[in-house]
Amino acid sequence: MHPILKLVAQRLALGVVLLFAASVLLFGLTEVLPGDAALSQLGQAATPENLANLREEMGLNRPAVTRYAEWIGGIMTGDMGTSLINKLSIAEQVGRRLSATLFLAFWAAIISVPLAILLGLIAVRFQNRWPDKLISGVTLASISLPEFMIAYVLIFFFAVQSLSWSIWGWFGMSPIAFPSFASVSPGMPLSAQLYAIALPVMVLTLVVLAHMMRMTRAAILNVMQSAYIETAELKGLNTFAVIRKHAFPNAIAPIVNVVMINLAYLVVGVVVVEVVFAYPGMGQYLVDAVVKRDVPVVLACGVIFAAVYIILNIVADVVSILANPRLRHPK
């Protein structure tokens, strides 16, 4: 078997094991927490008889091992089950919510990934000069702030105070105020959806941009110490050409790794952003399920999030090996 195919097979097998371990851990954590879906639905004033009847109706009176075995068996056959609270199909709900989250993550990635690489190249080109210090300072400030604080600051300036009105006015354009709630629906035109998610995309871009830019800068600066970089400079190539043609291609492995990690965060780590902007995605769906102790929904969301991380890490490993001839050698 080809080494790359063997690597992919090994990582996929390990990914399946990790998914199983993650499902066991999630199920165990939901079981040890006080309360359940029946108590959440009936409230604290529920009588023991009502609780017992509802738990029997929901199947919560059965042993935990039996319930987990039934759930994992359904997952292996493509059946995520039904919600304990609203009795709706989890697969249908997840399909709609996941598409909304991927839509938000896609536009954030389209902006943040190229911008992060470009800013990293500029920072290396002007190392220890004012462009490098300005880019590093701004990105360090953005990475130091939590997502919800960045979100509320943008809401205050671009929705409440309508700072965007004056910004668009500088260019002689009609004033635009961005919405503080990212309300989207499948029937909306693309322009309306992009307008609705403008602020969440800004928040996600600021959050992941700093990490990718700083890793790009560090990886390229590490390569710049190599002897072949000095040879390229002695040939008369300008600094940006040396970075673009020689340093960046040889620093692609760590850059790809950090880009994939941040892409996974755009899908998995959007819980806070979706809650702040009331965006109908997987993060909001997971929070609602946790509050209501809807265990099947929590397990389905957790396994999907874990699968996203595992798949993107496998892609990062394969791309890193393909980009490095030394790693492609069987030895």
Helix (H, G, I), strand (E, B) or coil at 193: helix
Tokens 């006080």 -> residue: 34
Q: What is the mean pLDDT of residues 98-122?
A: 89
Tens-place pLDDT, residues 171-185: 555 556 788 888 887
Q: What is the mean pLDDT of residues 203-229?
A: 84
C-beta of residue 294 within 8 angstroms of C-beta of residue 287: no
DSSP of 262-279, one letter per residue? HHHHHHHS-HHHHHHTT-
Chain-wide mean pLDDT for the chain? 81
Question: At residue 241, does pLDDT exceed 70?
Answer: yes
Question: At residue 27, does pLDDT exceed 80?
Answer: yes
Tens-place pLDDT, residues 58-72: 777 788 888 888 888
Question: What domains lie within the chain, and their CATH numbers?
Answer: 98-328 (1.10.3720.10)
Residue 27: exposure state from Cβ atoms within 10 A (0-12, 13-18, ≥19): buried
- Residue 317 and residue 259: Cα distance in Å, rounded? 12
Q: Please report the pLDDT score of residue 319 as a whole number.
A: 77
Q: What is the mean pLDDT of residues 292-309?
A: 86
Q: What pairs with residue 89 in β-bridges?
A: 82
pTM beyond 0.75: yes
Helix (H, G, I), strand (E, B) or coil at 88: coil
End-to-end CA separation in angstroms for the chain? 14
The rounded percent of the chain whose pLDDT value lies above 90 is 3
Question: At residue 135, does pLDDT exceed 60?
Answer: yes
Question: At residue 245, does pLDDT exceed 80?
Answer: no
C-beta of residue 23 within 8 angstroms of C-beta of residue 303: yes
Q: Please report the pLDDT score of residue 110 as a whole number.
A: 92
C-beta of residue 119 within 8 angstroms of C-beta of residue 213: yes
Q: What is the mean pLDDT of residues 17-28?
A: 87
Tens-place pLDDT, residues 78-98: 788 888 888 888 888 888 888
Question: At residue 287, does pLDDT exceed 70?
Answer: yes
